[in-house]
Structure 1
Amino acid sequence: MAASSTTRKLVATLGATRRHHPDADTTDIRRELAASTIEDHVRAVVAQAPPLTDEQRERIAALLRAGGAA
């Protein structure tokens, strides 16, 4: 699975921020990177999977809404 250009940019931004500003709060960058990585993975899986039922999509969406705690 290839990383999207957004994910690659965020990885570079995080690395540069840590290198040049080691005490900087990188929470927002790491959050965006996590979301982008998840998006990349979901796109790859959905592209190869058969169409999901409404119930299956709802279960997966519930995981996201609950932050994975469902």
Structure 2
Amino acid sequence: MSEVVQARAALGSASRWGTQESINDARRDLAAANIAAYVKKAVDAAPPLTSEQRARISGLLRPAAGGASK
């Protein structure tokens, strides 16, 4: 079973029987699973990247210097 399907099922369970905090956590986990699946699909379809390109793209996932992550 894919990570997205598992996260979607967890959100469904949390929505039915969980607390608001568990629902929020499940929504965050589903969003992360969707992002990871999208990135994997894009990377698998792309030609090999240079080190500079990988560094620039991975920098998009890091919070800005001095900024707080959500």
TM-score by length of 1: 0.75
Match of 1:32 in 2: 29
Query: In structure 1, the residue corresponding to 2:61 is in which secondary structure?
Result: helix
TM-fit CA distance, 1:36: 1.2
The one-letter code sitting in structure 1 at the alignment partner of 2:62 is R
Q: Which blocks of at least 5 consecutive residues in structure 1 are unaligned?
A: none
The one-letter code sitting in structure 2 at the alignment partner of 1:6 is E
TM-fit CA distance, 1:24: 2.5
Query: How big is each residue's C-alpha offset from its partner over 1:4-60, in whole Å with a ceiling of 9 and x where there is no partner?
Result: 611101101101211234x52222222221111111111111111001111111111
Query: In structure 2, the residue corresponding to 1:65 is in which secondary structure?
Result: coil
TM-score by length of 2: 0.75
The percentage of counterpart residues that share the same residue type is: 42
1:14 to 11, 14, 17: 11
Match of 1:63 in 2: 60
Query: In structure 1, the residue corresponding to 2:40 is in which secondary structure?
Result: helix
User: How many residues end up aligned between the 2 structures?
Assistant: 64
The one-letter code sitting in structure 2 at the alignment partner of 1:43 is K
Q: Which blocks of at least 5 consecutive residues in structure 2 are unaligned?
A: none
Query: In structure 2, the residue corresponding to 1:52 is in which secondary structure?
Result: coil
